Amino acid sequence: MNQAAKIENRKRYGRRSFVKKLLFAVASLLVPRFLAASDKLKEAPVWILAGAYNPNEHYWGMGIDISKCIGCGRCVEACKVENQVPRDPFFFRTWVERYRIMEGGEVAVDSPNGAIKSFGNDREEKDIVRSFFVPKLCNHCDTPPCVQVCPVGATFKSPDGVILVDAEYCIGCRYCIQACPYGARFLHPETRTAEKCTFCYHRISKGLAPACVEACPTQARVFGELRKKASPLQRFLRMNKVGILKPSLNTEPKVYYADLDMEVN
């Protein structure tokens, strides 16, 4: 973002205009409006999905093979570049966690800057019993609490199972961020709207794989169809013992982990 745009942005979100908007919004509260809201909600996916891609013909998911992940962080970098995610260490659509089970049972978990530059070594090698890396991202839950709580329906589930945020609609209330059990969401510091992984929707709707999947040197991430027999994801699910994160919350994640350790949450 260049200087002029920055200033423009600051103006847009400046205090005075804020007050003006506030007054306008207060006034709008007093005007009763009645409109079939759900109709608009149903339209939302259609606006986004104009083009040849038919979301009704797909159902997407991801498999992650924990034993293959080497914690290099290239997926994190690829995602930041592909999706123009702010570079600061507080905003991630995907990140990698490192779990080290120490002698004596202590579990050391870290993810310095989301592991965008991989991991350093701060513990004695000989004290580590076991260690592994866990890439994380939005689970595109099949029963997503984030969609449930969004007051304006800005967060919605597309027919292909992908959970998306319509920035045009998002009022920045951040209820969805509170409701996501996985820390997958953040508020974009400039647009002031909620953001998270979209499975690279702009790519998958063109038949490409998400950027993280493409960037992974060990093919630890498998992207594909959940409802088509011949898909690589189906093969992944058949060949591995898979787990999901926080199953007790009944969010039904569509990101599946092979070799998931009980320490991961």
- Residues of this chain that bind ligand SF4 (CB under 6 A): 138-141, 144-146, 149-150, 152, 154-155, 163, 165, 170-176, 180, 182, 184-185, 193-194, 196, 251
DSSP per position, 138-160: ----SS-HHHHH-TTS-EEE-TT
Q: Which does 163 bind (CB under 5 to 8 A by kind): ligand SF4, other proteins, none?
A: ligand SF4
Decide: is 243 part of the binding site for other proteins (CB under 8 A).
no
**Three-class DSSP category at 246:** coil
Between residue 189 and residue 208, which ones bind other proteins under the rule CB under 8 A?
189-193
Between residue 5 and residue 24, which ones bind other proteins under the rule CB under 8 A?
6, 15, 18, 21-22, 24
**Which one-letter amino acid corresponds to residue 49?**
L
Q: Which does 260 bind (CB under 5 to 8 A by kind): other proteins, ligand SF4, none?
A: none
Name the residue nearer to ligand SF4 (CB basis): 72 or 255.
255
Pairwise CA distance, residues 195 & 64, whole Å: 22
What minimum distance in Å lies between the beta carbon of 182 and other proteins? 7
Q: Which does 159 bind (CB under 5 to 8 A by kind): other proteins, ligand SF4, none?
A: none
Decide: is 128 part of the binding site for other proteins (CB under 8 A).
no
Between residue 81 and residue 100, which ones bind other proteins under the rule CB under 8 A?
86, 88-92, 95, 97
Decide: is 1 part of the binding site for other proteins (CB under 8 A).
yes
Instruction: Return the number of other C-beta atoms located less than 10 Å from residue 120's C-beta.
Output: 7
Q: Which of 231, 140, 95, 57 is nearest to 222 (CA)?
A: 231
Pairwise CA distance, residues 83 & 85, whole Å: 5
Decide: is 106 part of the binding site for other proteins (CB under 8 A).
no
Name the residue nearer to other proteins (CB basis): 54 or 143.
143
**Which one-letter amino acid corresponds to residue 120?**
G
Q: Which does 11 bind (CB under 5 to 8 A by kind): other proteins, ligand SF4, none?
A: none
Name the residue nearer to other proteins (CB basis): 72 or 209.
72
- DSSP classification of residue 37: H
CB 140 within 8 A of CB 161: yes
**Which one-letter amino acid corresponds to residue 193?**
T
CB 187 within 8 A of CB 177: yes
**Which one-letter amino acid corresponds to residue 143?**
T
Q: How far is CA 158 from CA 4, 46, 247, in A?
A: 36, 9, 22
Decide: is 172 part of the binding site for other proteins (CB under 8 A).
yes
* Alpha carbon 130 to chain centroid, angstroms: 28
Tokens of 195: 């953001």
Q: Which does 192 bind (CB under 5 to 8 A by kind): other proteins, ligand SF4, none?
A: other proteins
Q: How far is CA 82 from CA 68, 77, 184, 203, 242, in A?
A: 23, 9, 17, 10, 28
Q: Enumerate binding residues for other proteins (CB under 8 A).
A: 1, 6, 15, 18, 21-22, 24-26, 28-29, 32-33, 35, 37-38, 40-41, 86, 88-92, 95, 97, 109-111, 113-114, 136, 145, 147-154, 169-175, 177-187, 189-193, 249, 265
